[in-house]
Structure 1
Amino acid sequence: MIWVLILSLITIVSVVAGLRKRKAVYFLLPFASVFAFMLVKIIMVPLPFLDTVRFIFQLRG
């Protein structure tokens, strides 16, 4: 739950900064932070990295 709040705060701050400073770089920050969060969570799985990624994409059910 705390991660959702942190990612929401990053998104709100970066959107406000992007609108005030009129730079598109600030709008990429939420995407980069979510990508980094997902990457860290995948790395924390005790399987090899590529096996974990294959498993995730096979869950299309």
Structure 2
Amino acid sequence: MMTVLVFLIISAICLFFALRRKKTIFLVIPFLTIFLYFIVQIALVPLPFLDTIKFIFSLNN
């Protein structure tokens, strides 16, 4: 629940700055933070990184 709140706050701040300063680069920041969060969570798994990625993508078969 806390991570959702953090992502919502980051998104709101970036949206505010994107509209205020008229720079669309601020709209990319929430996507980058979510991507970085997923990479960190995958890296925390005690298996090797590539094995973890293979396991995640083999779950849909």
TM-score > 0.5, shorter chain as reference: yes
What's the counterpart of residue 14 of structure 1? 14
Pairwise CA distance, 1:24: 1.2
Runs of 4+ in 1 over 6 A off after TM superposition: none
**Does residue 1:36 correspond to 2:36, yes or no?**
yes
Paired residues in the alignment total 61
- Unmatched 5+ stretches in structure 2: none
Q: What is the aligned-residue identity percentage?
A: 39
Give the TM-score taking structure 1 as reference length.
Answer: 0.93
Question: For residues 35 and 23 of structure 2, what CA distance do their matches in structure 1 show?
Answer: 21
What's the counterpart of residue 27 of structure 1? 27
Give the TM-score taking structure 2 as reference length.
Answer: 0.93
- Unmatched 5+ stretches in structure 1: none
Query: Aligned-residue CA RMSD in angstroms?
Result: 0.8
What's the counterpart of residue 5 of structure 1? 5
